[in-house]
Amino acid sequence: MSKTISKTILLIWLAMTLGPPIASANDYFRITVVDAETNRGIPLVELTTVNHIRFVTDSAGVVAFHEPGLMNQRVYFKVFSHGYESPQAGFGFQGKSFEITPGGKAVLKLKRLNIAERLYRVTGGGIYRDSLLLGDDVPLAEPVLNAGVLGSDSVVNTVFNDRIYWFWGDTNLPAHPLGIFDVPGATTKLPNDGGLSPDVGVNLNYFKGPNGLAKATADMPGKGPTWIGGLIALKDKNQHEKLLASYAKIEPPLETYERGIIEFDVAAEEFRQVKTFPLSTPLYPNGHPLKVTENGLEYLYFCLPFPTVRVPATAEAYKDLSQYETYTCLKAGSPPNKPLIDHDEQGAVRYSWKKGLPTLDSKSQASMVNSGLLKPNDLQFRLFDLNTGRALNCHGGSVYWNEHRQRWVCIMLELFGSSPLGEIWYAEANTPLGPWQYAQKIVTHNNYSFYNPKQHPMFDQEDGRIIYFEGTYTHTFTDNKDQTPRYDYNQVMYRLDLADERLALPVPVYRTMDAENKESLGPRTSVDQIPDRKDLVFFAQDRKTSQNIPIYTTLTNGSQHLSANPHEGKPLFYAIPANQPEAPATTLPLFEFKNPSSGERHYTTTSTAPKGFINQGTLCRVWTVNPKQP
C-alpha cells in the first residue's frame, strides 16, 4: 500500500472518529448586546434568525455565532429581552440585521425599561459559554458547569462563619431532571474577604458528593422533596454560632406533610434534624429572617414578604416554638373559624404582638374585608402602585435595613400582575412593620415567572445606595411552553440604584399637636419601632426629583406656615406642583386654610374649610393615604 493511500485512509478515519472540525475563536461572529445606559453586556437577550434558530446571550451579553450556511452574508435576528425595548426593523418587526463574517463583530444597544439592571446568571450550565467560545476571560472559576448543576429553584442564604452559605430547592443534574430533591448548598467568600464583587459574579463552592456532583444537604427522613426556609446564623447561650433553618417535607400535589427544625453540621456539610412539630402549629420560622432590636432586645423577624412573625434572636428561642409571636389585629384566643378583632378604647383596630395565633396572610385579610370585619384602611400590610394606585397582591420577598435610605426596604413579588409571577416591586417604610404604602415596579417579565426574590444585604455597596437581589427565572406557573435554553429554572442576579429618582417613594407625613393645641405637619425624623397610622395625613417625597418642588416650613405667630417659596434651611418635604397638568393619579391637592383673626393655618387634602378658617387655595399636590382603585 502506498504512503499516499495510507495517508488518505488515516485522514478518512480521523474525520469519522473526531467529527467535524471545531471552530476556533476567529471563526465566530461576535454579537454583544449592551445596556444603552450603562454599556454593560445584557444577559438573557434572545436573537432568533428568520428560520427560527435561537441564540441567547450569556452572562457577558455576548453570542458566539457560527452557523454553516449563514456566514458571509447579511442575517436578520429577531431581538427580545424581558424588560428591554427591542429595536424596530420596519413592517412591525423588532430586530436587527448584521453582516456576518468569521472574526467579525457587532454591538447592539438596548434601552432598558426595567429600573433594576440584569447582571448575570448565578446558577446553571453555560453561564459564560459564548464568552469562552470567543476566547474571552471570564470571572468564574467554573464558567460552564459547576458541580453538575443545570438549574436550581429558589435561594436562601446567610452569613455564617465569615462566609456566605447558599442553599436551593429542587435542582437539575445532567443525568436526570430534578436530580437533587433535598437542598443542594454552596459557600462563597464575602466580597470584602476575597470574594468576587457582586457586580461581577458569585463563585459558588458547592458541597459535593463522591461523584463530584452537588449533593443533598437536607435529606430528611420520609418520601418526597425537602424544602427549607428561615435560614439564619444565631449564637447559643455559650456564644457558639449555629446555622439553623426550618424544613418541610412535600408530597404530590405540593402538599406539606411534615415540618421541623434543622441545624447545619459543618464537618458533615449537611443538616441534622433537631425536632419536628405538628402541622397545626400556628407560628414557626419561615421566609427570610432579619434582625431587629426593640427596647434593647434583639429579635428575628420572618418576612413573606412582610415581617409578621418574630422570636428572640437566640439559637434556643429559635427552636422553642412557644416563644414565637405574630403581629396581628386578632384577639388572644380568637378561634380560626370565627376571628375576633381587637379594638382600642376609641374603637380603632389595634395591632400588637401575640403568641398562639396564626399569621394574617393576604387570603385571610381579604376574607375579613369581604365579610365586613375589617375595612381596607384597617389592613396593616398593603401596597399600592405608585403610578396608578392599584392595590398589589403581595407574595414572596424580603425586608432589610438600608443605610443609604435610612429605612427598611422591601423587594417583593406581585401575584397575578401583568405576568402571573414575574413582576418585582420596591417599597420602603419607617419601620419593619410599616407603614407600607407605595411601591414602584422594578422588573417585569413577558409571560415568564421570576419568583421568590431574595435581597442580599451582604452585597450592599456605597452604603446601601446599590443593592442586589435575585430570583428564580422559569416558565413554571405560566402558559408559556417556550423554555429559555440554559436560563430556565435558574437564579438571575439584578442590581438596583436607590438614587434613581423613579424610586423616590412618598414617605408618611403626620399631624401632631403641641401643648398649646397648635398643629404641625412633618415626616418622622427617627426610626419608629411600631407604625402609627392614626395621625397620618398624607404622603410626600423626601428628596428632590425633576418632577417635584420643595415645601418649606416657618413659624408665623407661633403657627406653622408651609410655603413653596424658597427659604433658608432644609425643605420639610417635596411635592408635586399644584398646577401640574398630568399629576399622578395617586395625588390630591393639599389645601391651605387660614384663620383671619389668629393667623393660624391648617392644611388638609379635603376642600372643606374648618370652622373659622378661609380657603387660601392649593399649596401643592401630595400622595393620598387611600388611593382610589382604577
pTM score:
0.94
* Domain boundary residue, one of 118, 133, 148: 133
- Which of these three, 91, 113, 133, is where a domain ends? 133
What tens digit of pLDDT does each residue of 472-519 get? 999 999 999 999 999 999 999 999 999 999 999 999 999 988 777 788
The residue segments making up the domain with residue 579 are 507-623
Question: Rounded to whole angstroms, how far apart are CA atoms 129 and 426?
Answer: 32
Residue 558, pLDDT score: 82
125 phi and psi angles, rounded to 5 deg: -95, 150
Question: Same domain for 33 and 127?
Answer: yes
Whether 295 is covered by a domain: the verdict is no
| Residues 38-70: tens digit of each pLDDT | 999 999 999 999 999 999 999 999 999 999 999
pLDDT for 6: 47
SS3 568: coil
pLDDT at 569: 78
Assess if residue 456 is contained within a domain: yes
The Cα 184–Cα 189 span in angstroms is: 18
Same domain assignment for residues 513 and 604? yes
Q: How far apart are alpha carbons 171 and 150 in whole angstroms?
A: 7
- Strand 54-56 vs strand 46-49: parallel, antiparallel, or unpaired? antiparallel
Query: Considering the domain boundaries, does residue 318 fall inside one?
Result: no
The answer to whether position 128 is within a domain reads yes
In the chain, which stretches have pLDDT less than 70? Answer: 1-22, 525-532
> How far apart are alpha carbons 330 and 136 in whole angstroms?
60
Domain count, the chain: 3
Q: Indicate if 512 and 618 belong to the same structural domain.
A: yes
Q: What are phi and psi of 427, to 5 degrees?
A: -145, 165
**Residue labelled with grid coordinates 445532567:** 174
Identify which of 296, 363, 290, 373 has the alpha carbon closest to the alpha carbon of residue 329: 373
- What is the structure's pLDDT at 287? 96
Instruction: Give the separation between CA 476 and CA 342, rounded to whole angstroms.
Output: 40
**Grid cell for residue 452:** 421568590
Q: Are residues 514 and 489 in the same domain?
A: no
Same domain, 485 and 544: no
In a domain, 54, yes or no: yes
Residue listed under C-alpha cell 422594578? 442
Q: Give me the pLDDT at residue 7, please.
A: 45
Q: Point out the domain boundary residue: 499, 528, 543.
A: 499
Return the C-alpha cell found at 580: 401640574
77 and 123 both lie in a single domain: yes
pLDDT for the residue numbered 9: 52
